[in-house]
Amino acid sequence: MPAVSVIISVYNVEPYMARCARSLFGQTLRDMEFVFVDDCTPDRSVEVMKEVLEEFPHRKSQVKVFRMPCNSGQALVRMKGLELATGDYLAHCDADDWVEADAYEKAYGKAVSGGFDIVTFNFRKGSDGNWVNCSSGSLPGKELSDIMTGAVMGSLWCRLFKRSLADGLALPAGNMAEDMALSIQMTAKAKRIGHLDDVLYSYFVRPDSISHSAGMEAALARQESMYANTRLCAGLLQPYADKFGAADMLIFKYRSRHYLEPYVHHKEVYRKWRSTFPEIDRELLAARGIPPATKFWYVLIRLHLYHLWKVLSGKHSLI
């Protein structure tokens, strides 16, 4: 079996596919597998990938392309990719992003030499001319709680996972934050986690992407999916309570209200904000370990002053 399988979901990424495919096929790690899952994309994304593949004939036998029977969404696509992958270790790469040429050689080398179930690595985030480097590293033992609290991104693409961690994963409950739901499940099961302090991945922020679309309806849709996946994970994490604290779970649940904050001056949105894990309202202010900024913004919202404060101060939520 290959050392590393990379799973790439394909949908409406034609303008970005060539860049991504070249970064994958040009990897310095030779023993690889590339699993492209076509979610019935309406454009030429798959054809563009195959055209780039002609530049790397030695990779042809390492490429799998699977077309979903119908447009299914990110959650099912990622699960299908995990099902098809056969590598010792698994990685994900979003088709509008790209990786450094030695990314998977470095991550795999770290995993094998250290006996790690997961290796995290740093990334840069932005768009042309505006990039910022971000860390995905955590102190030992804090890896799970850092994902829960948002201290690090829960994305799959900045992590290399041992394939055995993917056994028995629960299907994410929504197509937003679906990677967080999978990362949390695998991180909870991992016994040893290492980190590479190298920027190996470029996360391209597309202005037209669903995750960055503006407006109340988009925010409500994102929140609904975040809430569903948070509720799923909260139940699945019960056997791993020794890996996080009570405050971590409170923050984790409260973060699923985050997308609603810009619109809480609308009565219907405020009601949805209050009804999202309402049990945390009894604990949030009194609990130790909750950042003061989180409590501050929570109080402003409860007093119906959040929107006024934001208008007057120009500040945004610090959650």
> Taking residues 18-46, what's their average pLDDT?
98
Residue 19: pLDDT over 50: yes
Q: Give the model's pLDDT for residue 162.
A: 98
Quote the pLDDT of residue 319.
Answer: 44
Q: Distance between CA 247 and CA 71 in Å, rounded?
A: 38
Residue 139 pLDDT class (50, 70, 90 cuts): very high
Query: Rounded to whole angstroms, how far apart are CA atoms 284 and 139?
Result: 25
Residue predicted with more confidence, 209 or 80: 80
Burial of 131 (0-12, 13-18, 19+ CB in 10 A): middle
Name, in order, each residue with C-beta under 8 angstroms of 120's C-beta and a sequence gap of 6 or more. Answer: 136, 137, 138, 143, 152, 158, 159, 160, 193, 194, 195, 196
* pTM of the predicted structure, to 2 decimals: 0.93
Predicted pLDDT of residue 318: 44
| pLDDT tens-place string over residues 48-73 | 999 999 999 999 999 999 999 999 99
- Using CA atoms, how far apart are residues 123 and 176, in angstroms rounded to an integer? 20
% of the chain beyond a pLDDT of 90: 90
Q: How confident is the model at residue 208 (pLDDT cuts 50, 70, 90)?
A: low
Q: What is the pLDDT of residue 55?
A: 98
| Mean pLDDT, residues 95-103 | 98
Mean pLDDT, the chain, rounded, equals 94
pLDDT class for 310, splitting at 50, 70, 90?
A: confident
